[in-house]
Amino acid sequence: MSERCKVSFLGLGVMGGAIARHIGKAGHELTIFNRTPERLGEWQEANPGLETRVADSPASAAENADMVITCVGDDDDLADVVLGPNGVFQTLKKGGVFVDHTTVSARIARQISVEARDLQIHCIDAPMTGSQIGAERGTLTLMCGGRANALEAARPVMEAYSQRIVHVGKAGAGQTAKMANQICIAGIVASLSEAVRFAQGSHLDMGKVYEAISGGAAQSWQMDNRWQTMDADEFDFGFAIDWMRKDLGLAMEEGRGLGVSLPVTALVDQFFADVQALGGGREDTSALIRRLPRKQRK
């Protein structure tokens, strides 16, 4: 793919909006589409210096594009914008590149890959990790499934917003790798919640506890970035519990199909459900600590 190309981006949410901005700033010819006009208007107001074309449908966005990237909600949303009657695959040209950053089932990723192959379109499922901070900074990690030549065609644009691009296998493999990522995060957040409450209940200096344990085997990204905010009961940092429960549901469904038991994942998923019942579904995953009572100091 040429250094400057025509890129269409569909889905201007928390993650997608930041990615689209990086693509535009990298000098690519950017077309945008969002299903809700309000979010589209907000993105335009936040990025007044970027020259973009606004499409009125996914098919219109894909017309004449070299590459189309999606970052939407779930399987049904993705199927609609890609395979629907006004979808991307109605107009994306032969030899074009399609990349999906949505976290969805491996099943829909494989289905889209088959459709793309028949249309002679390069196709990559590339869910991401790195949180809202990573999207804003352009330091995401992409877990990519699909053919190697498809990934190489997509890489020059992907490099505008990611610091690590890993080809993990064939179509759908990016999604299953993302499921493994979410399984790890769920367990870490659950144990970190208990550790914070334990240290609080022991009336320890929380900063000193973090200093002592963060340099050893207990260290994690979650500890480094959420220890202080969990201690302060602050939970407005991007990846919402509602989204995590969607992802864990995908992982458990895939696990059942593989015959793989995920007992800890199932338990933590129910812990997240408890926080949803407390009204915390839109708070970030570290709000899991809310289900554990905080001991009051005497």
Catalytic site positions: 178
13-40 burial: b if 16+ Cβ within 10 Å, else e:
bebbbbbbbbbbebebbbbbbbbeeeeb
User: Hey, what are 205's tokens?
Assistant: 């200096």
With a CB cutoff of 8 Å and minimum separation 6, the contacts of 110 are 171, 172
Taking the alpha carbons at both ends of the chain, their separation in whole angstroms is: 65
Tell me the C-alpha to C-alpha distance, in Å, between residue 173 and each of 103, 155, 246, 298. Answer: 12, 17, 18, 52
Instruction: Report the alpha-carbon distance of residue 193 to residue 259 in Å, rounded.
Output: 30
Instruction: Report the alpha-carbon distance of residue 57 to residue 35 in Å, rounded.
Output: 8
Q: Which among 125, 116, 122 has a CA at the least distance from the CA of 70?
A: 125
Following DSSP, what letter does each residue of 15-29 receive, concatenated? HHHHHHHHHHHTT-E
Tell me the C-alpha to C-alpha distance, in Å, between residue 145 and each of 54, 171, 176. Answer: 29, 5, 9
Residue 95 — left, alpha, or beta (φ > 0 → left; ψ -120 to 50 → alpha)?
Answer: left
